[in-house]
Amino acid sequence: MDPRTWATVDDYLTDNLLGSDEALDGAARAAAEAGLPDIAVSAPQGRFLTLLAGMVGARSILEVGTLGGYSAICLARALPPEGTLITLEADPRFADVARGNVDRAGVGDRIDIRVGTALDTLPTLHDEAPFDLVFLDADKGNNANYFRWALELSRPGTVIVVDNVVRGGAVADAASDDPGVRGTRHMFELMATEPRVDATALQTVADKGYDGFALALVTG
């Protein structure tokens, strides 16, 4: 199938199912104008995150990888007024763009953007754990490390979502030397042998191409 069809269908779903969303459209424009990479979740995927956080009844969310704040807005929309989302971003410039976006979206009071390398910041979050939902969407070479920390900061019932795990199909290539592929394969190995989680992964196509996400439920 022509990948252009995926983008056409995404546009159709966005226009006819989701409708216009000035806050998210504005966040995407601001990120593009600031020169951020075009790797945020798509609009249908963002709504999936909103619905998932609502289904979980999340009151406390952790996100690793803020970028321009698009997914943070989607997740924060499902929080109750007293809920909190802590999102970790390594790049101060990206964090500045995200702050403006979440404030304009009206959810800045629920979002705490923390700047620094995630593997340095994660050990400081024990007092704010456990989190009800964890969304991992940062450098894929560290996916296994992020997954370990997600477990450390979780409780039974926590949902862990990991984005971009199919890598355009490359995740199935055991000989790949791509750090993102290797890090994601290592994460899957951990998931498969970790007795405290039930997990699966789904392939997706969208306007950003061919990829997928992993979904894990912490059970113990």
Rounded Cα gap, residues 53 and 1, in angstroms: 32
CATH of the domain at 46: 3.40.50.150
* Per-residue pLDDT, 213: 97
Question: Is the distance from CB of 187 to CB of 214 less than 8 angstroms?
Answer: yes
Regarding beta strands 159-163 and 133-136, do their DSSP bridges make them parallel or antiparallel, or are they unpaired? parallel
Comparing C-alpha atoms, which of 40, 23, 30 is closest to residue 96? 30
Surface-to-core class of residue 88, CB atoms within 10 Å of its CB (0-12 exposed, 13-18 middle, 19+ buried): buried
Q: At 27, give phi and psi (nearest 5°).
A: -65, -40
What domain count does the chain have? 1
* Per-residue pLDDT, 18: 96
Is the Cα dihedral 101, 114, 183, 180 positive or negative? positive
Q: What angle, rounded to 10 degrees, do the helices at 43-56 and 3-13 form?
A: 60
* Per-residue pLDDT, 159: 98
Could you tell me the CA-to-CA distances from 57 to 43, 73, 78, 137, 151 in Å, in that order? 21, 16, 8, 21, 19
Rounded Cα gap, residues 75 and 58, in angstroms: 9
DSSP bridge pairs for 206 = 209
* Per-residue pLDDT, 1: 76
* Per-residue pLDDT, 2: 85
Reported in sequence order, the residue ranges of the chain that DSSP labels E, i.e. its strands, are 60-64, 84-89, 111-115, 133-136, 159-163, 197-206, 209-218
* Per-residue pLDDT, 93: 98
Rounded Cα gap, residues 28 and 69, in angstroms: 9
> Within the chain, which residues score under 50 in pLDDT?
none
Domain encompassing residue 56: 3-218
Rounded Cα gap, residues 138 and 148, in angstroms: 14
